[in-house]
Structure 1
Amino acid sequence: MIALQDITEVYFIGIGGIGMSAVARYFNENDVRVTGYDKTATTLTSALEEEGMAIHFGEANVGLVPQPHPGLLVVFTPAIPNDFAELELVRNGDYILLKRSEILGIISRGMECVAIAGTHGKTTTTTITTHLMSEAGLEPNAFLGGISRNFNTNFIGGDSDYVVVEADEYDRSFLQLDPSVAVILSADPDHLDIYGDHATMMEDGFRAFARRVRSGGQLLVRHEIADQFADIDQVLFSTFGIGTGDFSAQNIHVKNGAFHFDLHEPDGHIVPELRTELPGRHNVENAVAACAVTRLCGGAEADIRRGLKSFRGIGRRFDKVYDDGELIIIDDYAHHPTELNAAIDAARELFPGKKISGVFQPHLFSRTQDFAPGFAESLDQLDEAILIPIYPARELPMPGVTSRLIFDRMKSDNKRLLTDRKMVTWAKELRSGVLLLLGAGDIQVLIGEITEYHKNRNKNG
């Protein structure tokens, strides 16, 4: 196994992924040569290139993979197909090859790791926690699953032993971590292509992750699922929630477009009238978890108050990308029924009386097959629903699994099944209401075209 101090060059296969790019930035900021491949150029890969990383795109090009040498590490993401030519070359050659999760585990080992897990809310909570800890002077390092609007990046190089990471349950990635502080936000069924069933996901996934917390470390679990982790021993166990839990949000109310709440702490102390502009009560709960972590790490009351108020959000997490007073466009990464419900509920709460339309791009054939009824039920809450083709990511097509699997289960009379291009045409014709653009695939490329059209239309009258 290669030691971090011996690495002089890292080649990333799939460098443009949000998790991969954060690790690439870590090495780049530590003066290690970084190169890589990705399928298509994006705003994020352009930023990486501007930071000095050399990236090629399109089909595999084995001629651009660096020749093996003692200081070379190759990192790949499981989103890359196993038969991808560059990956096959490295596997069959004299290379040191690691998954992103493995190198993240190596980086975080020996540091005070704050690991935030959950089927929903990881990115938001990880980013809020990083911001609050920074405001508290704790100067954390952080690997984020989204672009923080406060830091304008997904990697923060801090000046302390703290490292805040998003602990991903996919492919059991979070079992590479040995956290000092672990948070479990949720554990709904997901990634059943990896785990098989929910019971296995709980035991071999989330409970196994909880058992990796260092002896004497902190395990913080959402109150509603706490009983599934209460037997984890040799840790300091606490809960959080809305209206209940050791750390809890009480007296929640909306004032001047923001949520206000009192934070009740385990010792009976109350931090009154905290304010957050994050949309939806689910984000109040995420904020409580972030406040709890910061307090457990020594942050002061004034720090969390100031930090929550100044938190500006994350790209692709209920991200208002256009608002002309009549038409509002929201970009959201939601790709699970629970996340769709949260986004739609937040839109209803924030924009009462407005028509709520939504475009959903399902992510993965397997997830579409597993959760088609749940997706249909969620999308039926929209005033108008548009489904576009599935984004396959790492998967090959599955017989009979298309977006129609969801569409045919929907009860709404106002639903359409459109190609990507026809959806863009439809979205350009909108003039009022709220448009939610939902999904974890390449829908973000289409979002840019839609928002630019409306900005130019508005500018040109």
Structure 2
Amino acid sequence: MNINKIDFLYFLGIGGIGMSSLARYFHIMGKTVSGHDKNETFLTKKLESEGISINYHDNVKIIPEWIKSNKCLIVYTPAIPKDYKQWIFLKKYGKNIKKRSQLLSLITENSICIAIGGTHGKTTTCSLLGHILYVSGKNFTAFIGGISENYKSNLILNGNKFFLVEADEFDRSFLHLSPNIACITSIDQDHVDVYPKKEFLEKAYINFSNRIKKPYKKIFICEEESFTVKNAIYYSVKKKVHYYADNVTIKNNKWYFDFHTPKKIFKYLPLPIPGIHNLKNTTAALAISDYLNINEKKIRKALYLFKGIERRYSIHYKSEKKIYIDDYAHHPTEINALINTVRKCFPNKTILGIFQPHLFSRTKFFEESFAKSLGNLDSLILLDIYQAREYKNFDINSITLLKKVKIIQKNKEISSISKVLETLDKKCFDIILTIGAGNIDTLIIPIKEWLCKKYGKT
């Protein structure tokens, strides 16, 4: 399929973070872009403000007539329910229909593609690498799985010689890509609805690694993952491999480290986002940058200028009395990493976590692990499970999860998302964490405003 001959694009699920970056890309390219999402969000409002038309009702009468054209491409997310009216209509009348991952493959197939894969760390690694490429003046476009604070977008557009993308393992989407350079940040079991056994996930990653092509044909792998691929380039924060970071120091809540390449050492670099897990992600981005011959001066400048990614250790309020941090963590490993980082940055502080589990299947599969990770908080407000694309409850709910969390009874409770501020008013804390991948982000502004009103503006 020649996407240059496409004049119209309709995105079913346009509010998704991956879909919206593609919608932005084609809108900027001068195509007519429209789409549907079931909910109006900050992101869909932003897309509309940029000139993209979006509808929010599952009604076929509001679909543009041009979707029946041979010059129209319909892009869909696999999370769309099979009985969705718009989806049934589009399958019947649409001439060209592609998954988001298939479209990403079409965009990148004739350029150098860098793909960042892994259960955890994809977005941080991709965002930082995209920022380094931009600061160094590279000709590239990046599709990011989060909103970069530097660019206020999930799209960085600076040419088309290179394409930087995230390789999403959900629904085996990344097997549509054939990158020239790839990175695997972690292989921790997740998406259990797709990979009920870890060996299924590992097999998918092996298949992904086999799709890497010339020129370059290089794959970077985190040494800590114990995942072996022939001719891989390894990076680490524990071992002296091809690329590694060490000598971590913390001064005034700011982290610094040394970065070792096969030929030299970059001394005392700033870590833009704190945490050992983010040191791994940064080491991955720096390893690829060094491989692409980006010099130390530009790398150092990019690190100092990097502002982070929305919902990745995002500090929204900080005064002498209280701190509020929001994070996308939705897996037990990610929650552990977040809490450990907060403990290191703010020792002896009382942490209150507000957690929204994401997916019944994930919550059920990792129920014991979630309970253990959440037990590292001092107090917990647990929200209802965000069902997302699922309809069955897998015999799990927030009440059963809360019972397993080993926090004293008076310091843990269930709350609806609408009653969170009321619940917060009765709590003792130094730090608030909002944690999760559903619609918990709708609490960010209300909590920030509540803190400002109660404890003063920062």
Deviations 1:44-93 (A, max 9, x none): 11111111001111x30111222300111111112221211101111122
Gaps of 5+ in 1: none
Bigger mean CA offset, 392-401 vs 447-456: 447-456
1:263 is matched with 259
Do the aligned partners of 1:427 and 1:450 also contact (CA within 8 Å) in 2? no
Relative to structure 1, the CA distance from residue 429 to residue 35 in structure 2 (aligned partners, 3 Å threshold; closer, same or farther) is farther
Give the whole-Å Cα distance in 1 for the aligned partners of 2:418 and 2:290.
48
1:166 is matched with 166
1:392 is matched with 387
1:321 is matched with 316
Task: State whether structure 2 residue 328 is matched by structure 1 residue 339.
Answer: no
Relative to structure 1, the CA distance from residue 140 to residue 380 in structure 2 (aligned partners, 3 Å threshold; closer, same or farther) is same
Give the whole-Å Cα distance in 1 for the aligned partners of 2:143 and 2:455.
37
Deviations 1:145-182 (A, max 9, x none): 11101111101111241111111110111111111110
Deviations 1:320-370 (A, max 9, x none): 112233121111111100000111111111111210110110000110111
Aligned length: 452
1:66 is matched with 64
1:198 is matched with 198
Do the aligned partners of 2:74 and 2:94 also contact (CA within 8 Å) in 1? no
Which of 277, 285, 289 matches 1:282?
A: 277
Do the aligned partners of 1:14 and 1:77 also contact (CA within 8 Å) in 2? yes
1:179-218 map, 5 Å: 179-203=179-203, 205-215=204-214, 216-218=216-218
Secondary structure class of the residue paired with 2:245? strand
Deviations 1:215-240 (A, max 9, x none): 441100001224x3234xxxx52100
Task: State whether structure 2 residue 109 is matched by structure 1 residue 113.
Answer: no
Letter in 1 for 2:247: N
Give the whole-Å Cα distance in 2 for the aligned partners of 1:357 and 1:431.
8
CA offset at residue 256 of structure 1?
A: 3.2
Gaps of 5+ in 2: none
TM-score normalised to structure 1 length: 0.95
CA offset at residue 206 of structure 1?
A: 1.0
Give the whole-Å Cα distance in 1 for the aligned partners of 2:98 and 2:88.
13
RMSD, aligned CA:
1.7
Do the aligned partners of 2:352 and 2:429 also contact (CA within 8 Å) in 1? no
Q: What is the identity percentage for the equivalent residue pairs of Structure 1 and Structure 2?
A: 38
Relative to structure 1, the CA distance from residue 165 to residue 428 in structure 2 (aligned partners, 3 Å threshold; closer, same or farther) is farther
Deviations 1:250-274 (A, max 9, x none): 211112322111111123x111111
Give the whole-Å Cα distance in 2 for the aligned partners of 1:383 and 1:77.
38
CA offset at residue 451 of structure 1?
A: 1.8
Which of 296, 299, 306 matches 1:311?
A: 306
Do the aligned partners of 2:350 and 2:431 also contact (CA within 8 Å) in 1? yes
Relative to structure 1, the CA distance from residue 82 to residue 428 in structure 2 (aligned partners, 3 Å threshold; closer, same or farther) is farther
Letter in 1 for 2:24: R
Letter in 1 for 2:122: K
CA offset at residue 436 of structure 1?
A: 0.6
1:376-455 map, 5 Å: 376-413=371-408, 414-428=411-425, 432-455=429-452
Deviations 1:69-119 (A, max 9, x none): 011111111222121110111112243111111101111111111100110
Give the whole-Å Cα distance in 1 for the aligned partners of 2:222 and 2:396.
34
Give the whole-Å Cα distance in 2 for the aligned partners of 1:258 and 1:102.
41
CA offset at residue 430 of structure 1?
A: 5.2
1:25-40 map, 5 Å: 25-40=24-39
1:103 is matched with 103
Do the aligned partners of 2:364 and 2:395 also contact (CA within 8 Å) in 1? no
